[in-house]
Amino acid sequence: MKHTFYKYQGTGNDFVIIDNRQNIFDKNNTKLIAHLCDRRFGIGADGLILLENHEEVNFKMIYFNADGNESSMCGNGGRCITAFANFLGIINNSATFEAIDGYHNAIIEEDVIKLQMQDVKGIHNTNQYVLLDTGSPHHVKLSKGIESLDVKQEGAKIRYGKLYNQDGVNVNFVEKIDTETFTVRTYERGVENETLSCGTGVTAAAIAMHYIGETEKNCITLNTKGGNLKVSFEKQGDSYVNIWLIGPAIQVYKGDIEW
């Protein structure tokens, strides 16, 4: 039986999105999800997102990594599903939706989607890296010359290293351009490779750079291979609140596939 899907991307972080308000999709079928995300034998994506009904807010977001397993929060995915909900006519220029880490607010300004992230606290800082959770756990390392870095190899060493349990971690290599601009390259667990952009990753990078004193700005531009994102925030004691991930979210195409 043929089913309709949509392909979206947010600064190169791409997703298969399915309208699952009629419960047509088997969320326990990890092989199917991995197949749909496969770039050679399926549609191809960094992850798959289901949009579902919600009794209290506009919709519910369920996110799966490309390996077929349900994952922690995906920032760019949250921005893309907001654009998709607008396309479907579920929302107009703003939304509140539930993801795995709780409720999120979003604002649409043409092709730019602003997504409010969860507050961040419990930041762990060492001389070599910063560890924090922005909806997903992130290891942030300030580096130089990251353009020539083998992110897949170096990221995997940390993701599977002794510091972390079997769940692993996402790994971000950050290079300072100036006090309000940083370049970020991210190794994503579940994808097990570098992605062109990672929303929770650039959020983690921005907050980490502020936390360790590399910037005093509260709105930071993050350059990724897939384009530029902005992160704004407020510091409140040792925590960060009112965090917004800002950038484009684009529908690439619509198609039908059998499963």
pLDDT per position as a tens digit, 210-257: 999 999 999 999 999 999 999 999 999 999 999 999 999 999 999 999
What is the rounded distance in angstroms from the CA atom of residue 68 to the CA atom of residue 66?
Answer: 5
What is the rounded distance in angstroms from the CA atom of residue 178 to the CA atom of residue 216?
Answer: 11
Residue 115 has pLDDT above 90, yes or no: yes
Domain span(s) for CATH 3.10.310.10 in the chain: 2-111+249-258, 124-247
**What pLDDT was estimated at residue 151?**
98
**What pLDDT was estimated at residue 110?**
87
Residue 165 has pLDDT above 90, yes or no: no
Say which CATH topology domain 2-111+249-258 has: Diaminopimelate Epimerase; Chain A, domain 1 (3.10.310)
Q: Are 142 and 205 in contact (CB under 8 A)?
A: no
Question: By percentage, how much of the chain surpasses pLDDT 70?
Answer: 100
**What pLDDT was estimated at residue 199?**
98
Catalytically active residues, by annotation: 74, 198
What is the rounded distance in angstroms from the CA atom of residue 210 to the CA atom of residue 238?
Answer: 11
pLDDT in tens, 34-44: 999 999 999 99
Say which CATH superfamily domain 124-247 falls into: Diaminopimelate Epimerase; Chain A, domain 1 (3.10.310.10)
Residue 166 has pLDDT above 90, yes or no: no
